[in-house]
Amino acid sequence: MQSLLLTTGLYVLTAVAEIVGCYLPWLWLQQRAPVWVLLPAAASLALFVWLLTLHPAASGRVYAAYGGVYVATALVWLWWVDGIAPTRWDLLGAGLALAGMAVIVWAPRAPV
């Protein structure tokens, strides 16, 4: 159970690093933030890449499973940062993405 919580936390932290790394340049391009925000954006994207290397599974499986957590985290960002409440369709889509992620993560595999 502790492993599941640590892995989930790592996925969420990875998603937040990616979202911040993309959100800050978007703010700059929309002329709502100064150019210096590109520095923390680059640092956040570097953190995102490093965090991906901490996942113990094969990289392709990590990226596929990460996608489900990313979708859910992006909807939380939409709500908390953009102030837009997700619709029931958003939540259904996130649930489906997380269900797909669960299949990828917990599918039985032959020992390597």
SS (H, E, C) the chain: CHHHHHHHHHHHHHHHHHHHHHHHHHHHHCCCCCHHHHHHHHHHHHHHHHHHHCCCCCHHHHHHHHHHHHHHHHHHHHHHCCCCCCCHHHHHHHHHHHHHHHHHHHCCCCCC
What tens digit of pLDDT does each residue of 17-55 get? 999 999 999 999 999 999 999 999 999 999 999 998 888
Q: What does the mean pLDDT of the chain come to?
A: 91
Answer with the residue of higher pLDDT: 112 or 100: 100
pTM score, two decimals? 0.85
**What pLDDT does 39 receive?**
98
